[in-house]
Structure 1
Amino acid sequence: MSSFTFETAEPDPVTYLDRLATSDLGRSYKQRMLDELDLRTGHRVLDLGCGPGTDLDALAQAVAPTGAVTGLDHDQHMVDAARARTTGRAAVEVRHADVHDLPLPDRSADRARTDRVLQHVADPVTALGEIRRVLRPGGRLVMGEPDWETLAVDHPDHDLTRAYTRHVAERVVRNAAIGRQLPRLAAAAGFTVPTVIPVTPVFRDVRAADSVLGLERTTRRAREADYFTVEAAEAWLNHLRKGPFFAAVTFYIVVAEA
């Protein structure tokens, strides 16, 4: 591991999302979310925060031949990418929209999903209220979100580990504890929550972890924010680089019913 070099440049957002989706971790949890949606022929499905359209094709296949899928994203670049990928699929529509103010009628969808979206939004409570509004009675929402306060990276100096996790939870991710909060927030929005599924990815390969977590970039930001001294940051990265490496974080799949 001594020759390993961390990825220092921020990856293109589309490239990053594609890379995660095609990893073993991505394929596994996305399939579990798809299973929990319990899609049927004829369903109308919303992919809220659809990104570059990674999951739209699988959703469309699950509700074919009479169903419809609408992907919505607030980022026009992502909307353009998703539209390009779904060209020719009559059952798929992609729209530029804000999850806090969905341009959809009340009770107009059977299913909805959010995948690592609510950790970033300004107001998860408002977003959940909007999703509840547009779902039909008996409709189902499946959400997948990490709880970044559970991030554990092994290091001989426990203080450095705690500093790294605190930085991620306090400075990097807007709603870092959303994973554990989702059942409560969904219930407050009028959903029932029959199922919560914890998924704990374990990384023992520093390369795989770096491709998801951006270890060096995040450490640099932690140093700039005074969570690490320069010396501590270098000691932290040196150990991660040389190994043995271990990291884990808990990801929650939460099923909510309207």
Structure 2
Amino acid sequence: MPESLFEQTCPDDYLVRLAASDLGRSYKSLATSELAIRRNDVVLDLGCGPGADLPAFAEAVGPDGGVIGLDHDPVHVEQAAARAAELPQVQVRECDIHALDMSSGSVDRAHTDRVLQHVVDPATVIAEARRVLRAGGCAVFAEPDWDTLIVDYSDLALARAYTRFVTEQVVRNGCIGRQLPRLAASAGFAITKVIPITATFQDAEAADKVLGFRRVTERAVSAGYLGAKAADQWLDHLATRPFFASVTLFIVVAAA
């Protein structure tokens, strides 16, 4: 198996790299469009990470609007603040998005992007987003459903075991994509649109930059989901044979 094909560890710039990819630009552009940001709006980016979306939001609200980026990770907050340093309408601060330090009805738009899959309690975060939105406001949640991950492999049981490991062990809320409409409706939102975005990959190396096959496979072996020999055969197949994989992300548009 080509040792250099699959990444050994998750790179530090993973989130920024994904945002800059064709896939990232495509679904992020759609999510921003569905937010329907108006000039002078206040936009809240929950779990803003390194701030990949902040410049687009700042451009949409204009110089007299506002953009608030919140994240619990101080490193991400520092990176996001640096990215928005020349954008005076953007504020970035450290915050637990389960308990927003903001007044009710204080923002016009709210947004998450691949954040709710990781939080302790997605329902609480969504409820907080609803609380701080003004009447007539809008939220857009973009989240994957990892149970939709399919990888073409001759041993279907092994491929399913790999997906099951990702869903059950790798991602805290692996099925959040399908749960979003229910959770948002329960928080008081009116669901206006659900848009599935299915990413397809026919190049193993390109897919690995999103899916991290080697490092996830090694963890699956350690956790007992895959046997060591079967895992080696799996990685060899992915690296050397014609490749196909896909996974679906859902964009849920919700009105306050």
TM range (shorter): over 0.9
Q: Secondary structure at the match of 2:180?
A: helix
Partner of 1:239: 237
- The aligned residue for residue 91 of structure 1 is 89
Structure 2 stretches of 5 or more lacking a match?
none
Which of 139, 155, 165 is the aligned partner of 1:141? Answer: 139
Please list every run of at least 4 consecutive aligned residues from structure 1 whose deviation after the TM superposition is greater than 4 angstroms.
1-4
Identify the residue that residue 8 of structure 1 maps to in structure 2.
Answer: 8
Q: Distance in 1 between matches of 2:89 and 2:4?
A: 45
Question: By how many angstroms is 1:2 displaced?
Answer: 5.5
Deviations 1:49-70 (A, max 9, x none): 1011111011000010321100
Counting matched residue pairs gives 256
Secondary structure at the aligned position of 2:92 is classed as strand
Give the structure-1-normalised TM-score: 0.97
Letter in 2 for 1:136: R
Q: What is the identity, as a one-letter code, of the residue corresponding to 1:169?
A: T
- Listed one character per residue, the Cα deviations across residues 68-116 of structure 1 (whole Å, up to 9, x for unaligned) are 1000000000001111111132100001001100011000000010000
Q: 1:36 aligns with which of 34, 49, 52?
A: 34
Q: CA RMSD in A?
A: 1.1
User: Secondary structure of the residue that 1:59 maps to in structure 2?
Assistant: helix
Output aligned runs, 1:169-180, within 5 Å. Answer: 169-180=167-178
The match for 2:207 is 209
1:139-169 deviation line (CA, Å, top 9, x unaligned): 1000100100010000011011011000000
Give ranges in structure 1 of 5+ residues lacking alignment.
none
Letter in structure 1 aligned against 2:100: L
Instruction: String of CA shifts for 1:3-52, please: whole Å, max 9, x gaps.
Output: 7521112211xx00111011100000000000000011010000111011
**Is the Cα–Cα contact under 8 Å of residues 4 and 241 in structure 1 kept in the other structure?**
no
Where 1:201 maps in the other structure, the secondary structure is strand
The equivalent of 1:103 in structure 2 is: 101
Q: What secondary structure sits across from 2:16 in the alignment?
A: helix
> 2: CA distance between counterparts of 1:80 and 1:70?
14
Verify: 1:59 aligned to 2:64, yes or no. Answer: no
- Aligned-partner SS, 1:200: strand
Among candidates 161, 173, 183, match of residue 185 of structure 1: 183
Task: Tell me the equivalent position of 1:120.
Answer: 118
